[in-house]
């Protein structure tokens, strides 16, 4: 077990921790000469995914709206080996999307791999959600993913070259996501897009897969999501608490008895786009320690989303 996941408790150990930073299951140089475009590659999980491709030799294009964050990530990723270009882009804007592919093409050539990682999310009860809030999340998460995907597909079809697309999803695409109606609907759309386009574009040599992280906390998590996670820990509590149970934190709420580490998602992404996964397409791989399948023998009492978010009764 590695440092990040070492637990100071008696009882079942949970799933072992992963190999250390810098390790890889794939041969060194697997992505030499390959161009990988990661949306939202300046922060959090996108940056972790980009890092694993960089370690294996890829040239990177990272794209998102915030130039400062992109620049910081570009410097960090460049230190891992490959070349890195940062492109400021709102993926809702089809013109900017085209320009990003032009920029990538001029720098390194048409990207071989597209990782649609950028997304938007904030918890809000559906009855409080404005049309603008719904649109912001759906337009970024679903329409932005579609626009990036369409541009990638068009260019590869025109060039007659193969490619690989990975769409980062969320498990509430299957289960629904109370408190996240906009994001859950958008992620369900993304999962459907994966399944549709894998068939449409398989004949042209383009793989399309989904990749779903479980809870993978990181320093770039939005204050709102982080705050709600922390409040849930403060108010939830274990129904039984003894020395056989781990402390009441994020880890204790996972069947793995640990949260995921961002590099574990990065390793899965580099596998899915690698030559060793050429017959995998239309699939969504869940990397969450089975958390999304968790059920209790007896369900805990229902707590409304309003209560979970600490909101007063809806007044209309």
Ligand X SMILES: NC(=O)C1=CN([C@@H]2O[C@H](COP(=O)(O)OP(=O)(O)OC[C@H]3O[C@@H](n4cnc5c(N)ncnc54)[C@H](OP(=O)(O)O)[C@@H]3O)[C@@H](O)[C@H]2O)C=CC1
Ligand Y SMILES: CCCCCCCCCCC/C=C/C(=O)SCCNC(=O)CCNC(=O)[C@H](O)C(C)(C)COP(=O)(O)OP(=O)(O)OC[C@H]1O[C@@H](n2cnc3c(N)ncnc32)[C@H](O)[C@@H]1OP(=O)(O)O
> Does 147 interact with ligand Y (rule: CB under 6 A)?
no
Minimum gap (Å) between residue 125 Cβ and ligand X: 19
Q: Cβ distance 184 to 173 under 8 Å?
A: yes
| Whether residue 276 lies in the annotated active site | no
Q: Which C-beta is closer to ligand Y: that of 58 or that of 211?
A: 211
Q: Cβ distance 240 to 183 under 8 Å?
A: no
DSSP state letter for 92: T
Query: Which of 15, 157, 280, 309: binder of ligand Y (CB under 6 A)?
Result: 309
Q: Would you tell me which residues interact with ligand X (CB under 6 A)?
A: 39-40, 42-46, 64-66, 69, 89-92, 117-121, 140, 144, 168, 170, 213, 215-216, 220-222
Sheet of 84-88, strands arranged across: 84-88, 59-64, 35-39, 113-116, 163-168, 206-213, 284-287
Minimum gap (Å) between residue 17 Cβ and ligand X: 17
Give residues 198-237 in contact with ligand Y (rule: CB under 6 A).
Answer: 222, 224-225, 228-229, 232
Tokens of 262: 């961002």
Q: Cβ distance 212 to 171 under 8 Å?
A: yes
**Contacted entry of ligand Y, ligand X, none for residue 98, CB cut-off 5 to 8 Å set by kind:** none
Q: Which positions from 40 to 59 touch ligand Y by CB under 6 A, shown as an x/- string?
A: --------------------
Query: Which of 26, 94, 122, 125: binder of ligand Y (CB under 6 A)?
Result: 122
Distance CA 166, CA 80 (A): 22
Rg, Å, the chain Cα set: 20
Catalytic residue numbers read 172
Binding stretches for ligand Y (CB under 6 A): 119-124, 130, 132-133, 136-137, 140, 170, 179, 183, 222, 224-225, 228-229, 232, 308-309
């Amino acid at each position: 077990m590695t440092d990040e996941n070492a637990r100071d408790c008696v009882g079942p150990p949970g799933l072992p921790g992963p190999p250390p930073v810098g390790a890889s299951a794939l041969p060194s140089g697997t992505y030499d000469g390959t161009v990988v475009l990661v949306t939202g590659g300046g922060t959090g999980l996108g940056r972790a995914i980009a890092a694993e491709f960089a370690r294996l030799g890829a040239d990177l294009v990272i794209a998102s709206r915030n130039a400062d964050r992109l620049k910081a990530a570009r410097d960090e990723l460049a230190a891992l080996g490959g070349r890195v270009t940062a492109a400021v882009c709102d993926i809702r804007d089809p013109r900017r999307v085209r320009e990003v592919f032009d920029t990538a093409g001029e720098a390194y050539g048409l990207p071989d791999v597209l990782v649609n990682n950028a997304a938007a999310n904030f918890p809000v009860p559906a009855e409080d959600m404005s049309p603008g809030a719904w649109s912001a999340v759906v337009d970024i998460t679903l329409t932005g993913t579609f626009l990036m995907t369409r541009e990638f597909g068009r260019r590869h079809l025109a060039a007659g070259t193969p490619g690989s697309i990975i769409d980062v999803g969320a498990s509430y695409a299957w289960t629904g996501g109370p408190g996240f109606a906009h994001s859950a609907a958008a992620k369900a759309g993304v999962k459907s897009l994966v399944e549709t386009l894998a068939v449409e574009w398989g004949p042209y040599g383009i793989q399309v897969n989904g990749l779903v992280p479980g809870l993978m906390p990181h320093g770039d998590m939005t204050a709102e999501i982080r705050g709600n996670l922390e409040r849930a820990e403060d108010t939830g509590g274990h129904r039984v608490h003894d020395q056989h149970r781990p402390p009441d934190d994020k880890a204790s709420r996972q069947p793995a008895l640990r949260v995921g580490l961002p590099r574990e998602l990065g390793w899965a992404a580099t596998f899915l786009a690698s030559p060793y996964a050429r017959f995998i397409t239309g699939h969504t791989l869940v990397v969450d320690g089975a958390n999304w399948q968790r059920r209790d023998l007896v369900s805990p009492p229902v707590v409304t989303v309003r209560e979970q978010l600490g909101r007063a009764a809806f007044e209309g």
